[in-house]
Amino acid sequence: MLAVAAAVGSGHLVAGVVSPGSSPYLAVGDTVIRFAPEWLTDFAKTTFGTADKSVLLAGMAVVMLVVAAAAGLASRRSHTPAVVVVGVLGVLGLLAVATAPTFALLDVLAPLASLGVGLTVFRRLHALALRTREAPDEPVTAGGVSRRTVLIGSSAAVGVASVGAAVGGQLLGRGAADSRQAVTARLAAARLAARAPAIPASAAFPQLGTPTFLTGNPDFYRIDVALRIPQQTAEQWSMRIHGMVDKEIVLRFDDLFARPLVERTITMTCVSNPVGGNLISTANFVGVDLRDILLEAGVRPGADQLFSTSVDGFTVGTPTSVVMEEGRGAMLAIGMNGEALPPEHGFPVRMVVPGLYGYVSATKWISDMEVTTFDAGQSYWVDRGWAVQGPIKTEARIDVPNGYATVPAGRVTVAGIAWSQPTGIGKVEVRMDGGAWQPAELATDVSGDTWRMWRTDFQLAPGSHTVQARATDAAGRTQTEASADVVPDGATGWPATIFSVA
């Protein structure tokens, strides 16, 4: 039991230093919640309310102590049963951390520390206990302290250190989480200069198997090269705008709140999204207009690149002309779907520019912006061979039927999404087995900056079928049939799905 406590405590401590979300104990709890059946999470919510997570964590502690006690009793002679149990618990912690949606590479440190400490503490205490059982009163120090006293003292020390480590980890990791909670409360109380219009129910039909219009924060696609999720507080945040400007500006978090806060519904897309891929999501972002801030700074002529840097060192080069376009809606965002930005999506501040792929526009954990030229420096992904300009390409995706699904003969619904930010979708056409293109029914339009759902029906006989789709933007430009890989500037081609009718 002491070994398990030491494992949990040390993991929590290391996580507090590296990244609080990587605490193996908390990660296992989150994993249980993620994979729990809906009836169980509903039951927990109605029974325990907001204490549901604490109840789960306490329950986990009880289960672990019972398992540890049993393993201890089974290890009165050989250390094997307990080593296996501590090892399995440690590996579960590691798996929970590694599969978390918030995982970043250095997150492995906490569960590895946990595993190492758990095994070491067990082996040491177990060996000491075995020797004590043979000769409890044998003096082991010059002062005549008995082996039994050493065992009791060591056990007490491990117990105290475990609790201390857990508390320490909790205190160390609290800053950013508390700050984020405060920002969420502040956003809820803030009077926005402009709210995003409510999403009409007719803008989506998730019951068909297409996405909900707004993507929940935990489901929002995530792409970054961060080794750990930066743990900055809003109070620590600042961003300097400098370079080819008339006047340098240093923004602090409160300065953002002092400006008009606007809410915009924006579909973000990753350049690495293959045809048919899911690196695309939609959220209501709250933030300030980046164009207005740059107008105040006074961008000098010729400065065609906004070179932004994240606290993790990642860099992004955004075309100045796009950000300065009137009505484009480029923003420094602080809110996402009614809360502060989640840590993994850039808390406290990120950039969002409608119509540009994320790698040239969506700097998370932003900390600096140099107004410069494209000739003067290359951003992270441009340096690695990706295109300098990253406008989002018009694409359609088929969501139903699933590839290789078998559906009943008769009327078959084909449905999906299409996007062409910031222009918007004007038409989606679908064809079956190379036949004539037929227009799909489009869901209610929300904005050119967002995706648009589409659906249509076909009368189908049994056999194998191939359905294709193509989107046309609101300006009448149809997506190209030419299929291209994601490198260097985004995938193209008509999506196709092969399925069976039985």
Ligand X SMILES: Nc1nc2c(c(=O)[nH]1)N[C@H]1C(S)=C(S)[C@@H](COP(=O)(O)O)O[C@H]1N2
Is 220 near ligand X (CB under 6 A)? Answer: yes
Is 451 near ligand X (CB under 6 A)? Answer: no
282 to 311: interface string for ligand X, x by CB under 6 A: ----------------------------x-
Contacting range for ligand X; rule: CB under 6 A; set: 34-42, 109-117, 224-232, 297-305: 224-232
**CA 386 – CA 381 distance, rounded (Å):** 6
Strands 366-372 and 238-243: parallel
The nearer residue to Mo ion, 364 or 452, going by C-beta atoms, is: 364
The nearer residue to Mo ion, 173 or 358, going by C-beta atoms, is: 358
Contacting range for ligand X; rule: CB under 6 A; set: 45-53, 139-147, 219-227, 397-405: 219-227
**CA 265 – CA 354 distance, rounded (Å):** 9
Q: At what angle do helices 24-35 and 52-74 cross, to 10 degrees?
A: 110
* Structure token pair of residue 156: 């007490």
**Binding residue for ligand X (CB under 6 A) from 312, 325, 368, 445?**
312
In the numeric block, the tokens 């699933």 are attached to: 402
CB 427 to ligand X: min, Å: 27
Look up residue 500 and give its DSSP letter: E
345 is in the binding site of which of ligand X, Mo ion, none (Cβ under 5 to 8 A by kind)?
Answer: ligand X
In the numeric block, the tokens 């400006």 are attached to: 259
262 to 281: interface string for ligand X, x by CB under 6 A: ------x-x-----------
If we measure between CA atoms, which residue out of 271, 377, 360, 376 comes closest to residue 319? 360
The nearer residue to Mo ion, 241 or 316, going by C-beta atoms, is: 316
Give the binding-site size for ligand X (rule: CB under 6 A). Answer: 19
CB 359 to Mo ion: min, Å: 5
**Binding residue for ligand X (CB under 6 A) from 177, 223, 407, 487?**
223
If we measure between CA atoms, which residue out of 100, 312, 310 comes closest to residue 226? 312
Cα–Cα–Cα angle for 246, 252, 254, nearest 5°? Answer: 125
φ/ψ region of 244 (left if φ > 0, alpha if ψ in -120 to 50, else beta) reads beta
CB 345 to ligand X: min, Å: 4
Contacting range for ligand X; rule: CB under 6 A; set: 23-31, 323-331, 358-366, 424-432: 358-366
Strand order through the sheet with 238-243: 249-252, 238-243, 366-372, 305-310, 315-319
Contacting range for ligand X; rule: CB under 6 A; set: 32-40, 221-229, 459-467, 473-481: 221-229
367 is in the binding site of which of Mo ion, ligand X, none (Cβ under 5 to 8 A by kind)?
Answer: none
- Cα–chain center distance at 259: 27
Under 8 Å between Cβ of 308 and 351: yes
The nearer residue to Mo ion, 29 or 490, going by C-beta atoms, is: 490
Exposed, middle or buried: residue 356 (CB in 10 Å: 0-12, 13-18, 19+)?
Answer: buried
Return residues touching Mo ion (CB under 5 A): 223, 270, 358-359
If we measure between CA atoms, which residue out of 177, 286, 284 comes closest to residue 234? 177
The nearer residue to ligand X, 235 or 368, going by C-beta atoms, is: 368
**Cis amide leading into 401 (omega within 30):** yes
74 is in the binding site of which of Mo ion, ligand X, none (Cβ under 5 to 8 A by kind)?
Answer: none
Contacting range for ligand X; rule: CB under 6 A; set: 69-77, 206-214, 216-224, 446-454: 216-224
Interface residues toward ligand X, by CB under 6 A:
220-226, 268, 270, 310, 312, 314, 345, 358-359, 362-365
